[in-house]
Amino acid sequence: MLDVCLLGTGGMMPLPKRFLTSFICRLNGKMLMIDCGESTQVSLKMLGWGFKNIDIICFTHFHADHISGFVGLLLTAGNSSRTEPMHLVGPKGLESVVNSLRVIAPELPFELIFHELDNSINSEIRIDEFEISWLQLEHRIPCVAYSINISRSGKFDVSKALNLNIPKSSWSKLQKNEKVIHNGKVYTSDMVLGEQRKGIKVSYCTDSRPVQGLPDFVRNSDLFICEGLYADDEKLNKAIEYKHMLFSEAAKIAKQASVSELWLTHFSPSLTEPREFLNVATDIFENSVVGYDRITKTLLFN
């Protein structure tokens, strides 16, 4: 199962009851974060998931409302006795941006491992159990959407294991895709596992106009988190000018991509009561939710 949470749902500037953009998910004790706006660590403290086990932080882009809380979070993770490396993922320029911010946090008790994204090279990386794919978006600076995939192996076939005379003590290793050597023979997971089962997919898109490849990129997501900086369709010209989306545009993408659920986020400071506009989205895609700080859900394997 995968636990997911929106730590902050605001865009541009924090409000007294709405922190800036950040998302976190938790799998088997390990955590992946997307964006880290101002006040993120305050919200994370309120959530109670801790800081030490944040293994991966992905950045959609390098505007301040998506990264201004990052250095403080690094220091807090260090003070939480983290010593394991932390992976950082983001558009080109990631290492330069992070090193500039770290002028005020030069010493950390753990290593930072950088993964700078370049569509011409790759569109997917795997870190631990997280399969991370990305798509270039349309914003005022380079920006990407992310899909987080948690794959699930096929069912263990006991009869196959018995027929191959594999000792029961080795079955758990094969279930974890580890090789087993017994009596000089090598056994692999594909020899005892059935077809791969449906995993869990969470997609995250913020700070962009709708782009052509986005519906296919988020298709069949169990959860699609998408920005809705403006709720009212009358703000379309503003959305086009500043490269953002409306509630209705996010809902149309969710419907076209056949996702299971849509969470709207990244609201304009002028949009103080986004829930009043929920019907704008639900009239297009029924299973739409207006996100709020620390909304959580546990996604289960089917």
Contact (Cβ atoms closer than 8 angstroms) between residue 9 and residue 297? no
Residue 285 and residue 161 in one domain: no
Pick the closest to residue 287 from 259, 267, 266 (CA basis).
259
Quick one: pLDDT at residue 24? 98
Residue 92 and residue 26 in one domain: yes
Our count of domains for the chain comes to: 2
Residue 265 and residue 171 in one domain: no
Catalytic residue among 65, 207, 222, 293: 65
Strand 124-127, strand 130-136: pairing: antiparallel
E strand segments, 164-222? 180-182, 185-187, 197-205
CATH code (residue 227): 3.60.15.10
Query: How far is 32 from 272, CA to CA, in rounded Å?
Result: 28
Domain limits at 172?
154-195
Query: How far is 148 from 126, CA to CA, in rounded Å?
Result: 10
Residue 66 and residue 177 in one domain: no
Location of structure tokens 């946090």:
105
Q: Identity (one letter) of the amino acid at 41?
A: Q
Residue 106 and residue 163 in one domain: no
Residue 169 and residue 264 in one domain: no
Quick one: pLDDT at residue 37? 95
**End-of-domain residue from the set 164, 195, 226:** 195
Two tokens at 124? 């997917």
CA dihedral 233, 225, 97, 79 (to 10 degrees): 130
Residue 104 and residue 177 in one domain: no
Residue 148 and residue 231 in one domain: yes
Quick one: pLDDT at residue 120? 62
Contact (Cβ atoms closer than 8 angstroms) between residue 35 and residue 6? no
What angle separates helix 70-79 from helix 40-47, to the nearest 10 degrees? 40
**End-of-domain residue from the set 162, 179, 195:** 195
65 among known catalytic residues? yes
Q: Identity (one letter) of the amino acid at 290?
A: V
> Tens place of pLDDT for every residue, the chain, 302 residues?
999 999 999 999 999 999 999 999 999 999 999 999 999 999 999 999 999 999 999 999 999 999 999 999 999 999 999 999 999 999 999 999 999 999 999 999 999 999 999 876 568 899 999 999 999 999 999 999 999 999 887 677 777 777 777 887 777 777 766 777 777 777 777 677 767 778 999 999 999 999 999 999 999 999 999 999 999 999 999 999 999 999 999 999 999 999 999 999 999 999 999 999 999 999 999 999 999 999 999 999 88
Residue 161 and residue 281 in one domain: no
Residue 256 and residue 170 in one domain: no
**End-of-domain residue from the set 138, 171, 195:** 195
Quick one: pLDDT at residue 121? 57
Other beta carbons within 10 angstroms of residue 228's beta carbon come to 32
Query: How far is 211 from 238, CA to CA, in rounded Å?
Result: 17
What is the phi-psi region of residue 299: left when phi exceeds 0, alpha when psi lies from -120 to 50, beta otherwise? Answer: beta
Residue 260 and residue 132 in one domain: yes
Other beta carbons within 10 angstroms of residue 233's beta carbon come to 13
Residue 252 and residue 105 in one domain: yes
Two tokens at 155? 């069912």
